[in-house]
Amino acid sequence: MSLAEKFGTFSECWAPRIVARYEGHEVRIARLEGAFDWHAHDHDELFLVVEGTLTIEMRDRIEILGEGELIVIPAGTEHRPVADAGEVKALLIDPAHSPNTGNTFMLTQPIDDEAATCANGMTIGFKCNSPEQVKELHDVAVANGATSIEGPPGPRDAGALGTMHLSYFRDLDGHKICGIHREA
Ligand code: NI
């Protein structure tokens, strides 16, 4: 297959596309720009830079990958991909069905010592295993004082992404929270 051709089929950043599968793994390609979130996986993750320069920050070191360079990030290692010198095209290999953000959800004290706020424009999304779980997340939150927003939980047509099941609510501090399940 032509990777260039596959890269030509989408333009969103940080939204990997699966281009091949083998032995329970997915070969994904992604466009990267700016900084991603710190996260870790419970599996090794391979990055190959196809185009551009990618910085991989880890807690104890920083690796800078140029075109044609690869790194395997060991399981459990916190990392943050940063593409701060223009868009990067990368190929990743991960076990099938593992989210690209890993399974770490971090909530910390603000590092600038200012008050914590819910950021305008930010949505915290929780990946759910089923449409039922999307609704349950919403309903439990509302039963505990959250405010339902953006219509009732349910399916939405997401174009090429297929059908997504979504629910949205604001928690008691005003954070916008979303439950999401994508049909396989
Ligand atoms: Ni990762």
Contacts of 46 (CB under 8 A, 6+ apart): 70, 71, 72, 73, 92, 93, 94
Q: Are residues 26 and 87 both part of a single domain?
A: yes
Cβ 36 vs Cβ 102: under 8 Å: no
Q: What is the pLDDT of residue 60?
A: 94
Query: In this structure, are strands 45-51 and 70-73 parallel, antiparallel, or unpaired?
Result: antiparallel
Tell whether 25 and 73 lie within a shared domain: yes
CATH code at 36?
2.60.120.10
**Is the residue at 118 inside a domain?**
no
170: in domain = yes
Q: Are residues 82 and 132 in the same domain?
A: no
Question: End of a domain among 95, 112, 136?
Answer: 95
Residues at Cβ < 5 Å from ligand 1 ion: 45
pLDDT at res. 12: 86
Give the distance (Å) from ligand 1 centre to CA of residue 100: 6
- Domain range for 150 is 123-182
Would you state the pLDDT for residue 132? Answer: 92
- What's the length of the chain? 184
User: 171: burial class by Cβ within 10 Å (0-12, 13-18, 19+)?
Assistant: middle
Ligand 1 centroid from CA 2, angstroms: 24
Does the residue 169 lie in any domain? yes
Region at 150 (left for phi over 0; alpha for psi -120 to 50; beta for the rest): left
Q: How far is the CA of 183 from the centre of ligand 1 (A)?
A: 22
* 102 Cα–ligand 1 center, Å: 6
Q: Give the pLDDT means over successive 10-residue stretches in the chain (184 positions).
A: 94 88 92 90 93 96 97 94 95 81 62 81 84 94 95 87 90 92 78
Which pLDDT does position 105 carry in this prediction? 62
Model confidence, pTM: 0.56
Do both 14 and 91 map to the same domain? yes
What is the pLDDT at residue 61? 95
Q: What's residue 89's pLDDT?
A: 97
Number of folded domains in the chain?
A: 2
Residue 147 Cα to ligand 1 middle (Å): 32
Q: How far is the CA of 65 from the centre of ligand 1 (A)?
A: 15
Main-chain dihedrals φ then ψ at residue 38, nearest 5 degrees = -65, 135
